[in-house]
Structure 1
Amino acid sequence: MLLLDHVSIGVPDLDAARPFYDAIMEALGVSKVYDRVDAIGYGARCSADDVQSSCLAVYLDQSPIATNRRHWCFKASTRDQVDSFHRRGLATGGRSDGGPGVRPHYHEHYYGAFLFDPAGNRVEAVCHAGEPADPPISR
């Protein structure tokens, strides 16, 4: 069962966020579905014929982004996608909060990477599929 239908992330500067989210969503194989003055969207909304989709909206929002434990985690199909998510996020204004690697404290095959977007929102990509002989890394 998919838990979330859609999620929204607020940023104070959409022009700074756009290249970052374009890059990390493309790395995860997610299409941009709209690009407006006040928001950009990725993925696909559910419908009566498609109840498995989900979408992300990145909205222009001048509210302060404070340090907290909130973050958004996106599913990756492969570990290469997680690597690309992290690499491309760094190349487009993101900051690392933990490079790609196995995090066995979640489960033995949890392969994730963490970034802060240009505004300071924390995002993650994770692949749950296992691969043999992966050394764990600390976060």
Structure 2
Amino acid sequence: MLDHVSITVGNLDAAVRFYDGVIGALGHERVYRTDDAAGYGPRNSPNDDNHSYLSIIEQASVVSDDRHWAFRAESRPAVDAFHREALALGGRDDGGVALRPEYHSAYYSAFVLDPTGNRLEAVCHRAP
């Protein structure tokens, strides 16, 4: 459904270290870096438009709120790796890693806060 999104952060260097790890744990790479932004994942093109692209943009002032950004994981071990990387790279736990049957019987996810306080989730919808 989403083509691309942008997440604002207070410190781009810290955010790039963090997102390189957590997005990398989900199988995606950083594809660019400028003085005030970084991007992850392939961009869509006229011949291949089945991707979602993530931009991380540094802002002088960022206010965290109740939104959250949910990233699709291919497996439960990828969700676990996302959570582990997040905590190792300055993120904070925001709900742990768990099966969440209130959403559906195979919903397995991890909730964390990035170093700026943005709420992130990695979710796998597949049964093991």
- TM-score, normalized by length of structure 1? 0.89
Q: Which runs of 5+ in 1 are unaligned?
A: 132-139
Which residue does 1:36 correspond to in 2? Answer: 34
1:81 aligns with 2:78: yes
Q: CA RMSD for the aligned pairs?
A: 0.9
Which residue does 1:69 correspond to in 2? Answer: 66
SS at match of 1:33: strand
1:112 aligns with 2:96: no
Name the aligned partner's letter for residue 78 of structure 2.
Q
Which deviations, in whole Å up to 9, do the C-alpha atoms of 1:71-117 show, x marking residues without a partner?
A: 10000000000000000010000000022110011111000001100
Deviation above 3 Å: which 4+ runs of structure 1? none
Displacement of 1:69 in angstroms is 2.1
Which residue does 2:50 correspond to in 1? Answer: 52
Across the two proteins, how many residue pairs are aligned to each other? 128
Which residue does 2:123 correspond to in 1? Answer: 126
Percent identity (aligned): 52
SS at match of 2:27: coil
SS at match of 1:84: helix
Displacement of 1:63 in angstroms is 2.7
Q: Which runs of 5+ in 2 are unaligned?
A: none
Displacement of 1:65 in angstroms is 1.6
- Bigger CA radius of gyration: 1
